[in-house]
Amino acid sequence: MNEAVRLETRAAADSRSAGGVLTIDLGALAQNYRRLCARSAPAPVAAVVKADAYGLGAARVVPVLHEAGCRDFFVAHLVEAVRLKPYLPADARLYVLNGLLPGGERLCADLGAIPVLNSLDQIRAWSRLAAALGKPLVAALQVDTGMARLGLSFDEMELLAADPAPLAGITLRLIMSHLACADEPELEANPRQLAVLHAASGLFPGVPVSFANSGGVFLGADYHGDLARPGVALYGGTANPAEPPMQPVVRLDVRVIQTRTVPAGTAVGYGGTHVTERETRIATLSAGYADGLPRSLGNRGAAYWGGIRLPILGRVSMDSLMVDVSALAPDALPPGARVELIGAHQTLEAIAADADTISYEILTRLGQRYHRQYKNPETRIGTSGQRQA
C-alpha cells in the first residue's frame, strides 16, 4: 500500500474510533480572510495563529491563508514559532506577540522570528544580541494604550524617542498596540486607546502601525493602521455583534454510545444534579470536558439532531455527557449516530453563551480525541498541481 492510501485508510478508521468528528472548513476560512481584507483595505491583513490557530491546526491554516495572500502571521509564545516554522512559507513573516523571555533571544533570532518588544528590558536584550551578532535585528514595538497587559507605557515611548540609544541595532518593522474593548464598538475606551496610539506612533515617524484585532477591523478605517491583525473572525467567531456573522469554519458532531428510557425520579450523572420529572429517554454522547466541552454546559446546554434541541441532563463527565432525546422517535439514534454540538442549529457563539464563556475559549479547547476532517483541502498549496477556488 502506498503512503497516501495507508493514511486514507487510517483516517477512515479514525472516524469510526473517535467519539466525535470535528470538521474544519478551510474554504470558509479563506472566505473570512478575504472579507476582512476587503474591510480593512488598503491596509493588508495579517493572521493571528496563536494557540494552534485557535485550536484548528496552524499547520493546516497557515498554507490556506498564505494562498489567500497573507504574509504576516502572529503567534503568542516563542515555542509556537518554533513549532510553526517548518510550515511557514519562506516569504512569510512570523511575529511573537509575547516578545522575549530572558534566554529566548538567540533562539528567536536563529528562527528569524520577529519579537514584539514589550518592555525596555526586552529592547535592551534584543539590542545586545544585535551587537553580539554584528547585524541588525528586526522587531515590533508594542505600546500599552489602555489594557495594562503588554507593552511600553506612553511615558516610556517618549523617553525612548528622546533617547533612542536602547534601540541600537534594532530595525523597527511595526509599532503596535491591542484593543481591550474592540467587540464593544460604542465604548469610549476605543477612541481613547486610538488617541494614545496616534501620539505614541507619531514619536516614531515612518514606522508602520498595527492596531486592529478582529473587532478593530469593524471599527472603521481609523483603526486599520498599516496592518490589521485579526484572529477569531478568521475562524468564524463574532467580532462585532452588529455585523453579519462570519462564515462558520467549525462543525462538531459527536456520537451516541447508548440510549435508555428511565422512569420519573431518576438521578442523572455525577452528583445526581438532574432528577427526571417524567419518563425520559436519555442518550449518552461520546464527548466530555476532556474533549473541551465545558462543565458549565451541565444542565444548561444542548445538542441538536435534525434541528431538534436535546437538552444536556446533569453534569458533563470527562468522556461523555447525557442528553434528553425524548422528543425523538425511539429508534432515531442508534449507537454510533451523530448529533450536532456546533453546526447549522447551534453556532459556536451559541454554545459559548450556554457555557458562560466566549467563542475563543470553546475553539482553543477543542479536544485532540476528535477525528479531524478538513474540508476543501485542495485550496492548500503544495499538495497537488490543481487548485480550486
Ligand X SMILES: *Cc1c(COP(=O)(O)O)cnc(C)c1O
Residues that bind ligand X (CB under 6 A): 48, 50, 97, 178, 213-215, 229-233
CA-CA-CA-CA dihedral for 37, 40, 43, 45, to nearest 10: -40
- In the residue annotation, 375 being an active-site residue is answered as no
Smallest distance, ligand X to C-beta of residue 227, A: 11
Which DSSP letter does residue 244 get? P
Measured from the CB atom, the residue of 223 and 289 that comes closer to ligand X is 223
**For ligand X, the closer CB: 48 or 325:** 48
Q: Which is nearer to ligand X, 174 or 323 (CB)?
A: 174
Residue whose cell numbers read 432528577: 275
**Per DSSP, what are the bridge partners of residue 21?**
253, 371
Task: Give the CB-nearest residue to ligand X.
Answer: 231
In the complex, minimum distance from the CB of residue 48 to ligand X, in angstroms, rounded to a whole number: 4
Grid coordinates 477543542 are at which residue?
A: 366
- Pick between residue 30 and residue 233 the one whose CB is nearest to ligand X: 233
The Cα–Cα gap between 269 and 259 comes to: 14
Nearer to ligand X, 215 or 343 (CB): 215
**Count of CB atoms within 10 A of residue 381's CB?**
11
Residue type at 286? S
**Partners of 140 in beta bridges:** 116, 174
- Spot the catalytic one: 33, 87, 223, 270: 270
Distance (Å) of CA 128 to CA 41, 94, 95:
37, 21, 20
Least distance between ligand X and beta carbon 183 (Å): 7
Please report how close the Cβ of residue 231 comes to ligand X at its closest, in angstroms.
3
> Which stretches does DSSP call E strand in the chain?
20-25, 47-48, 72-75, 93-96, 114-117, 137-142, 170-176, 209-210, 250-262, 267-268, 274-275, 280-285, 302-305, 308-313, 321-324, 338-342, 371-375
- For residue 50, indicate whether it is catalytic: yes
Q: Which of 50, 289, 360, 374 is catalytic?
A: 50
Shortest spacing between CB 321 and ligand X, in angstroms: 28
Catalytic residues: 50, 270
